[in-house]
Amino acid sequence: MKGRTYKAMLNPESISLQRSISYNTKQGPNTSSASQKYKYTPSDKLSFDVVIDCTGIVDSSRTDMKTETTQLEKTIFTYNGKMHRPNFVKIQWGNGIVFDGVLESYNTNYSLFRPDGSPLRAKVSLSFSLYISPKTVKILDNKTSPDITHLVTVQQGMNLPQLCQEVWNDSSYYIQAARFNGLNKFRNLNKIESLIFPPIIQPA
pLDDT of 43: 83
Considering the entire predicted model, what is its pTM?
A: 0.62
Four-residue CA torsion sign, 132, 133, 138, 142 = negative
pLDDT digits (tens, 9 = 90+) for 80-124: 988 899 999 999 887 778 888 999 999 999 999 999 999 999 999
- Strand pairing of 97-113 and 119-130? antiparallel
pLDDT in tens, 22-40: 877 766 555 666 667 766 7
pLDDT at position 204 over 50 = no
Instruction: Identify any residues that bridge with 49 across adjacent strands, giving them in sequence order.
Output: 125
65 pLDDT above the threshold of 90: yes
Residues in the chain, how many? 204
Q: What is the mean pLDDT of residues 165-183?
A: 82
Give the up-direction half-sphere exposure of residue 170: CA atoms within 13 A in the CB hemisphere.
Answer: 12
Phi, psi dihedrals of residue 161, rounded to the nearest 5°? -60, -35
Q: What ranges do the domains of the chain cover?
A: 15-139, 143-197
Cα distance between residue 173 and residue 199, in whole Å: 11
Taking CA atoms, 62 is separated from 58, 142, 173, in Å, by: 8, 48, 69
User: Taking 60 as the threshold, does the pLDDT of residue 187 lie above it?
Assistant: yes
- For the residues 37-48, what does the mean pLDDT come to? 82
Query: What average pLDDT score do residues 3-32 get?
Result: 82
Higher pLDDT, 185 or 59: 59
Domain 15-139 has CATH 2.60.120: no
Q: Which DSSP string do the residues of 162-178 spell out, in sequence order?
A: HHHHHHHS-GGGHHHHH
Phi first, then psi: what are they for 131, rounded to 5°?
Answer: -110, 125
d(CA 132, CA 43) in angstroms, rounded, equals 9
What's phi and psi for 25, nearest 5 deg? -105, 25
pLDDT of residue 75: 95
Q: What pLDDT shows up at residue 148? A: 61
CA 149 to chain centre: 23
Cβ–Cβ < 8 Å for 164, 170 = yes
Please give the Cα distance from 97 to 103 (Å, whole number). 16
Residues of the chain above pLDDT 90, percent: 41
Average pLDDT of the residues in 167-179: 82
* Band (203; pLDDT cuts 50, 70, 90): very low
**Mean pLDDT, residues 159-169 taken together:** 84
